[in-house]
Structure formats: structure tokens, C-alpha cells
Amino acid sequence: SQKIEQNSEALNIQEGKTATLTCNYTNYSPAYLQWYRQDPGRGPVFLLLIRENEKEKRKERLKVTFDTTLKQSLFHITASQPADSATYLCALDQETGGFKTIFGAGTRLFVKA
Amino acid sequence: GAGVSQSPSNKVTEKGKDVELRCDPISGHTALYWYRQSLGQGLEFLIYFQGNSAPDKSGLPSDRFSAERTGGSVSTLTIQRTQQEDSAVYLCASSLGAESRAFFGQGTRLTVV
């Protein structure tokens, strides 16, 4: 069956460290993958998109990697800050008569000052 | 409008009643999604509209759930004979289509009592 797996356990890190979140998928052939941030009581907000032919993408303190052989994406936040505390969702887009976006369950990140 | 708008923001209904949730997507966005999110859980895909194509209804949990999108713009999600397990936040998102970020509304919190 198709699965998108993100670590259900919360990630706790110290301010200034790099946070690394993992997204693994099975039985998908995504054309691209996205990462979103969700704060409590709010809808998800887009962060980054990476295509299947791209290995890495960066935006300010964020870095995403995409390994289609391992079927895995890693999401890094460098020099983390307490304001980065949120839930981070991985999403896959696979062409099935149009690009349907399917989300993982998300990983909660806590950054301590 | 400037963003995706959902109404109502909160809805309390009695078990067995029908409810209609509304989504106004960003003007010009051809893709529209409905997701459901239970407390502390990830986003569960419900239905996807893309342009004039037949909608992808593969995520609707039962035949009590239906959705339509009129004129390629506003969408309504209808839940008939509501059950307590339908209680969740219902999120709508729209995008320009392939390789485009999704913009989410603030959600409708549905409580079935």
C-alpha cells in the first residue's frame, strides 16, 4: 500500500542547532515533493518544493534533499530558533490524471531557548 | 480575495443532521482540495478538483460525503447524517495546478454532538 511516513515522535532540539526531519515514502513515484509548516489552529503554509530530478534545494536557513532511490526526503533547519517550533508536513505530488497532493502526518519540532 | 476563504469557521451540529462547508479558492486557481484533520493528526485527503476534469473522490470516507465545485470556483463539501467521528477540522486548499504550492484556508472546525 502507499505510505508517507514521518517520525510521529516530536523532535526537541536546542536553539542554534540544526533540526533534521525525515520523510519516507513507499509505492509512490512522485514528480515532486513539498514541505509545509503548520502552527496550531492554522492551515499549513508552503515552504519548499523539490522536483524528482533535483537532489537538493535551499531557501535561507532551510535545506531539502530528495533521494528517489532511497525514497526519502530530508528537511533541515540550520541555526534553529524557538520561532521555528511547529509541525512540519511532507507532501507528495504524483501525476494521476492531474497532480494530487498527499500529505504525511507531520513531525512536531520544539526548539528550546 | 487575497487568500482561500472557508465558512463557517466553526460549526456545531447534532448527530444525524446534514452540514455544508464552503470554500472560496484564490481567483484563477484551477486545482482545489479538501482535507480533513483530526486533533493531533495529519491531513487526510478527501477530494481533488482540477479544472474541468472529473474530480478525484478517492479519499471520501463514505457515501455520506460529497463535494461539488460550481463554475470552477466555489466548492461545497456536504456531509449527510453526521456522526460523531466526523468531528474534525476540514481544510480547503487551492493551487495553480502542477508544481504549484497549495494555499490553505483557515479551516472549518466541525463538532458533532
Instruction: Name the residue with cell 514521518.
Output: A6
pLDDT in tens, A27-51: 888 888 999 999 998 999 999 999 9
In a 10 Å sphere around its CB, with 0-12 CB exposed, 13-18 middle and 19+ buried, how is residue B113 labelled? exposed
Min distance B68 CA to chain A CA atoms (Å)? 17
Min distance B43 CA to chain A CA atoms (Å)? 6
Q: Do A46 and B35 touch (CB under 8 A)?
A: no
Q: Do B50 and A98 touch (CB under 8 A)?
A: yes
pLDDT in tens, A77-93: 999 999 999 999 999 98
Q: What pLDDT was estimated at residue B24?
A: 97
Q: What pLDDT was estimated at residue A95?
A: 72
* CA-wise closest residue to A6 among A91, A94, A95: A91
| Rounded distance between C-alpha atoms, residue B47 and residue B65, angstroms | 10
Q: Computed from CA positions of residues B28, B60, A38, A46, in that sequence, does the dihedral angle turn out positive or negative?
A: negative
B71 backbone dihedrals φ, ψ, rounded to 5°: 60, 25
Q: Do A98 and B48 touch (CB under 8 A)?
A: yes
Q: Do A100 and B105 touch (CB under 8 A)?
A: no
Check CB contact of B55 with chain A, cutoff 8 Å: no
pLDDT in tens, B76-111: 999 999 999 999 999 999 999 877 889 999 999 999
Q: Which residues of A touch B56 (CB under 8 A)?
A: 96-98, 100
pLDDT in tens, A2-33: 889 998 889 999 999 999 999 999 988 888 89
Residue B40 has pLDDT above 90, yes or no: no
